[in-house]
Structure 1
Amino acid sequence: MTAPLDDPWPAPRARGPVDAVVTLPGSKSLTNRALVLAAIADGPSVVRRALRSRDSLLMAGALSALGAGIDTSGEDWTVTPARLAGDATVDVGLAGTVMRFVPPVAALGTGLVSFDGDAHMRQRPIGEILAALRALGVDVEGDALPFSLRGSGAVPGGMVTVDASGSSQFVSALLLAGARYDAGIDVRHAGEPVPSLPHIDMTVEILRAHGVVVDTALNDRGEPDRWVVAPGPIKAVDHTIEPDLSNAAPFLGLAAVSGGSVTVRDWPLRTTQAGDALRGLLEQMGCRVALSDEGLTVTGTGELLGIEADLHDVGELTPVVAALCALATTPSHLRGIGHIRGHETDRLAALATELGDLGADVTEHADGLTLRPATLHGGTFHTYADHRMAHAGVVVAAAVGSDDDPVLVENVATTSKTFTDFAPFWASLF
């Protein structure tokens, strides 16, 4: 049994180059998409190397509440499709994928399904999906957590318009269940550009792996921001989950700030994960980056450079990238990320506050951050119940402070959202 952690946690400081080879847990984004499709497929399937974390266990619990049989006892999870009958209560915790992906599935059932979650989750946007389900004929009560819906056993489907500028998950949620709707679904976005488009690409790719027909060519025929899913069965398919590449950010960042070398095993040569952008970002920041069949290796060169970067499509990387920019020797400007104000916390405000309190020279903008070289010091880094904020905190701690003035990371246990026992694993690298 893991010993309780101090809170705030005195995160370790690198006293020299850190050299390590790490194997990361599976992708949360892929695990939860695979579980959703397995739960509404035409037969049993297996999700291999599933991520065992709070978010994925919440997804398994939500789908089980709808009648799916999910055995999470081993590394490979077996899934029997959901009956989608009867009343249910769903705990979304702090998982955006559970809050957004499960309601379109629950709408296929015949019972009253009630949704609620952690207090922090009640601030995250869900109204666009609920409005879309109403437009498709689903009986929905509420516009934010807590809310409930009552299915009639089928969803007519058809065309629906959403403003997905707040989250790409609004599109993915409707696409994942759309093949089971009577007329399929035709999702059209109206609003500012959709963030995190790689996550929609991930959704389209996994749907096609299940034999679902998804037309994205409309985007190339003068109808941008439109995705059409044809009605039909969702074939049962076994999946092997890739490592979570966004969770690699603090480990690769550790190589950068310590002048060491970190290899993340099994980095895919081709992937739709947003975390793959770390390769180019860290190279721009002065690191040596090498991808091979064994994995991705990042080596710090002793000089960490600032960057000008539009992170609109990879906003989840912002906390660790901002932490690295705060430690860089030249200025940085990160833009295109106003949407991350609606993530687990307002990440722009949180980063500006916490990095600033440690001495960083940081300016918060409506859609980004500017960071200039400064000397940082120890202190408490608050996480706001946000696992990515904790990742930023431990990266700063590795490079800053002293035995008498360490960086203390508040509620580092929030990392269990996507990485169980992150803190002891992190500490073992020093």
Structure 2
Amino acid sequence: MQISRYSAPEFDPYGEARQTDTDDGWRAPVAVSALSSVLALPGSKSLTNRELVLAALADGPSTLHAPLWSRDSELMVDGLRALGTGFDRVPGAGGFGDDVRVTPTDELIGSTTIDCGLAGTVMRFLPPVAALALGPTTFDGDEHARRRPMSGVIQGLQALGVDLDDDRRGTLPFTVHGTGAVGGGELQIDASASSQFVSALLLSAPRFERGIDLRHSGERLPSLPHIEMTIECLRARGVDVESPEPGRWIVAPGPIAAIDVDIEPDLSNAAPFLVAALVAGGSVTITGWPAETTQVGAHLIDLLPRFGARVECDADRVTVHAPARGEGGSRGIRGVELDLSEAGELAPNLVALAALADGPSTVLGIGHIRHHETDRLAALAAEINGLGGRVTELDDGLRIEPAPLHAGPWRAYADHRMATSGAIIGLAVPGVVVDDIASTSKTLPQFTALWEQMLA
């Protein structure tokens, strides 16, 4: 059974990702009353794409229940299918589409081209898989993808003896000349630009002849929870993984068990909805919240109270209540001092919230998000300042000063987190027009429908 390909702006398998409702873009709706909304969200992109890779390398078929169906996950499916993996959609019990049955091939075959789009997980997780295939596999992606750092994966595979031709660019496009096996063993890389470099090598390492003994050589390592997520996914499939010291991971060679997996809702995608409660007033509840998780979005429970919110956790429901209104009708949102080194993907939405706060904020530990879908620090500063804000770029973050904002265009830079940040600003500022709301299809095709549901 074939899985449909993404095609902006009409991609709409289980929700909506409407490109425009004006000539210039999507006019962000203004909150006209306090919210009282209960929402369910589709599956985690980070978990879905990790489990797709592990299922493709497993020793038998696996079923992923409630996976995310989005541009990123479909690009991952297409890439793995090109290497020989079988995929079948089967009816799911959830409200966001089908489950997927993954059948590994007896022998991975290259001699193909993989379109990475703008998906960091695809461009980084699949080259080590392609190294295990027979034949050349060429990787390329969107224009923005060619500017995303890849050196940790490229140099890491080359150091392991993989024939990888990138014309010394350190970025897409490149070709992996797979021989059907990777020796593995000791390896040192600098993963300062992305924790995905580490996850990419760990995911395929059980299939390396000697596994891997991987060390990080850089001064800092961002987004550690994502590496912890990778480790937990491996261990759940019976893989022996150790981290004997910070910045070192040892994966033993061996089989990857075929198991059925329930994919958690995407907690990072919960951010704009929970933030909306502080901007619009009232409350927003997300259902299906896991009791224990390695997802970065779980940090929202501790982060949003620092802005003045009250967070209530009840079984599998998390509710965010807005702070009391301040003097003169202000929203009562407090300025903050944050270190988001472990939760950088939450930064765009939290910076948008800080732009509506009563006091100044400083958000640090996020220099690495300059290398995400776009330079998010420069993009946030440009767009908020373009609406009258006062945001200053720092070496490792942003300084946000209170300022009245006004109507105007908001550029998304083909970045889903930038698009949702524009929607947050638009709740409070009439006339904000997001040029590319369809970019949310990268991880949440249902964004506009869920946003309207929340406001209704």
Q: TM-score range by the shorter chain?
A: over 0.9
Q: Name the residue aligned to 1:298.
A: 320
Q: Name the residue aligned to 2:4.
A: none
C-alpha distance after superposition, 1:69-124 (max 9, x if no partner) = 01246421000013302411101001000000000011011111011111110000
Q: Name the residue aligned to 1:179.
A: 206
2:113 corresponds to which of 65, 68, 89: 89
Unaligned runs of 5+ in 2: 1-11, 92-97, 326-331
2:73 corresponds to which of 36, 51, 56: 56
Q: Name the residue aligned to 2:217.
A: 190
In the alignment, does 2:355 pair up with 1:338?
no
Does the CA-based 8 Å contact 1:208-1:214 persist in structure 2? yes
Given the two structures, how large is their TM-score scaled by the length of structure 2? 0.91
Amino acid corresponding to residue 334 of structure 1 in structure 2? V
Q: Name the residue aligned to 2:329.
A: none
Q: Name the residue aligned to 2:328.
A: none
How many residues are matched?
Answer: 421
C-alpha distance after superposition, 1:392-412 (max 9, x if no partner) = 1000000112xxxx1101101
Q: Name the residue aligned to 2:3.
A: none
> Could you say what secondary structure the match of 1:161 adopts?
strand
Distance in structure 2 (CA, Å) of the matches to 1:184 and 1:104: 12
The 3 A distance-change label for structure 1 pair 246 and 411 is same
1:105 corresponds to which of 109, 122, 129: 129
Q: Name the residue aligned to 1:121.
A: 145
The 3 A distance-change label for structure 1 pair 103 and 325 is same
Q: Name the residue aligned to 1:207.
A: 234
1:230 corresponds to which of 249, 252, 258: 252
Distance in structure 1 (CA, Å) of the matches to 2:90 and 2:237: 24
1:250 corresponds to which of 262, 268, 272: 272
Identity of aligned residues (%): 55
Alignment of 1:11-410 (within 5 A): 11-72=28-89, 74=91, 75-82=98-105, 83-142=107-166, 143-216=170-243, 218-219=244-245, 224-301=246-323, 302=325, 303-401=332-430, 406-410=431-435
Distance in structure 1 (CA, Å) of the matches to 2:198 and 2:437: 31
Report the Cα offset of residue 5 of structure 1.
Answer: 2.7
Amino acid corresponding to residue 164 of structure 1 in structure 2? A
C-alpha distance after superposition, 1:255-289 (max 9, x if no partner) = 11011110000111110000101111111110110
Distance in structure 1 (CA, Å) of the matches to 2:370 and 2:89: 33
Report the Cα offset of residue 4 of structure 1.
Answer: 5.6
Does the CA-based 8 Å contact 1:11-1:427 persist in structure 2? no
The 3 A distance-change label for structure 1 pair 72 and 58 is farther
> Could you say what secondary structure the match of 1:149 adopts?
strand
Unaligned runs of 5+ in 1: none
> Could you say what secondary structure the match of 2:286 adopts?
strand
User: What is the alpha-carbon root mean square deviation over aligned residues?
Assistant: 1.1
Q: Name the residue aligned to 1:427.
A: 452
Amino acid corresponding to residue 214 of structure 1 in structure 2? V
Distance in structure 2 (CA, Å) of the matches to 1:254 and 1:417: 21
Does the CA-based 8 Å contact 1:309-1:335 persist in structure 2? yes
Deviates more, 1:69-78 or 1:248-257: 69-78
